[in-house]
Amino acid sequence: MDIGWKLASGAATAAAGFVGSKAVNAGWKGFTGRDTPMDDADDDFSVKELIFFAVASAVVVAVVQVFATQAAKKWYGPVRE
């Protein structure tokens, strides 16, 4: 078990989640002109908007995390088991 790789991949995943979330929030605000359903205290979002936001968030964060993990592998080098 390579503890260095576990730390590097964990840090890359956490950073990617943070960056991906910020990107989705900025994109939502840019396209709709409203706060995200997570940030807005008002409950005036339709079910369609909530579903679209959830899907967009999941897709963006997942893609960013995959790229971050691949970049961490290139940076870290071969993983020793």
Per-residue pLDDT of 1-55, as tens digits, reads 678 888 888 999 999 999 999 999 999 989 988 888 876 566 688 889 889 999 9
Range of the domain at 26: 3-76
Residue 35 lies in a domain: yes
Let me know: does 39 contact 25? Beta carbons within 8 Å: yes
* Distance (Å, whole) CA 45 – CA 51: 10
Q: Is the pLDDT of residue 78 over 70?
A: yes
Residue 72 domain-assigned (yes or no)? yes
Domain count, the chain: 1
Mean pLDDT check: name the lowest of 30-39, 51-60, 68-77: 30-39
Is 19 a member of any domain? yes
Q: pLDDT value at position 39?
A: 63
* 81, part of any domain: no
